Amino acid sequence: MSTTTLAAPAVPEQRRARRRPGGPTVSRPGFAWALPATLFFGLFALVPLVLVVVLSFTSWAGLGSAEFVGLDNWQRLARDPIMINSLWLSVLLTALGVLVQTPLSLLIGVWAAGRQRNRAVLSAIFFLPLLLSATAVSVLWRALLDPNFGVPGHARWLFGDGNLFGSRTGAIAVLVFVASWQFIPFHTLIYQGAARAVPQVLYQAAEVDGAGRWGQFRHVTLPQLRNAMITSVVLMVVGGLTTFDTVLILTQGGPGTDTTITAYYMYEQAFRGFDFGAAAAIALLLVVVATVISLIVVRVSGYDKMRSTMEGL
């Protein structure tokens, strides 16, 4: 008597399912779903990045053929005091932006998530800077803060000589203020959405336990906004390190080189000094620094574990 073994029918890739330990079956889409995004990312992100890496080892003035120079561009940048100072300035502006924008965005976002009277109208007005480009915002504040015809010129009792762009401290303060004015509404939206997603049952339980408004904010709202906060901080870090147009329009790296951040120095090397090899090296270094800092934030915060804030509900 012979036994016949029946082979299991083939299951299409898109219909395969995996079972989580102790959980329901979860279907996994096939790779074809990610193919368009993968091709787009490879064509417009990875390929240019590879070209920048190659260009950083060459000398090219924008015309003619590039000449391979090895590590010459990197060695010159390592000895360039302006380059080293620009890195510290970029980190400083980024840190100041995070320290200013995070608490304000958090508080306004939590408030905007409530049901206060006229909240919708006030929120709409507050979010107007999101509709403007960084260039338009910079031109607007350059006119408003002009030492001769702007607000400081007519309020010298508050701004001294009125020239906020004439000192290192004043210029850095202007950059931080303008960036905060433009991007706080964006990060507020992140916190607003996250705050609205907090289950009301948590506030009800905290109220039963005797927690007041501050206690609910501290022990319920803040823990639930942890992932949103990390996302917001990472976006601030990347945006702060790569900002360029605001510096170009407001200070042009001045006074002197006091606000010459790394991204602006890259622009000067490429389009004023026509040294595209050195500019490519600066761009690559900026990518590495932004990536490393973002990974450190994610790793230290534990965000890479992606633990749900609603666990246990």
Under 8 Å between Cβ of 138 and 245: yes
User: How far is the CA of 275 from the CAs of 7, 57, 271, in angstroms?
Assistant: 65, 12, 8
Q: To which residue do tokens 């761009």 refer?
A: 283
Whole-prediction pTM? 0.84
**pLDDT of the residue at 5:** 47
User: How far is the CA of 260 from the CAs of 30, 137, 228, 275, 280, in angstroms?
Assistant: 47, 19, 31, 17, 17
For residue 259, give the DSSP letter. Answer: T
Vertex 45 angle, CA 139 and 230, to 5°: 70
Whether the pLDDT of residue 1 is over 50: the answer is no
Residues 160-205: tens digit of each pLDDT = 888 999 999 999 999 999 999 999 999 999 999 999 999 999 999 9
Residues 79-118: tens digit of each pLDDT = 999 999 999 999 999 999 999 999 999 999 999 888 777 7
Residues 117-142: tens digit of each pLDDT = 777 788 888 888 988 999 999 999 99
User: DSSP letters along 106-157, please?
Assistant: HHHHHHHTS--TTHHHHHHHHTGGGGS-HHHHHHHHHHHT-TTTSHHHH-HH
The CATH H-level (homologous superfamily) assignment of domain 57-130+168-303 is MetI-like (1.10.3720.10)
Under 8 Å between Cβ of 244 and 222: no
User: How far is the CA of 10 from the CAs of 30, 33, 52, 85, in angstroms?
Assistant: 15, 20, 45, 62
Residues 35-75: tens digit of each pLDDT = 999 999 999 999 999 999 999 999 999 888 999 999 999 99
Alpha helices in the chain (DSSP H): 35-41, 47-55, 72-78, 81-112, 119-126, 134-144, 151-154, 156-159, 168-196, 200-208, 213-216, 222-224, 226-242, 245-250, 262-271, 276-301
For residue 292, give the DSSP letter. Answer: H
Mean predicted lDDT score pLDDT of the chain: 87
Residue 170: CB atoms within 10 Å: 20
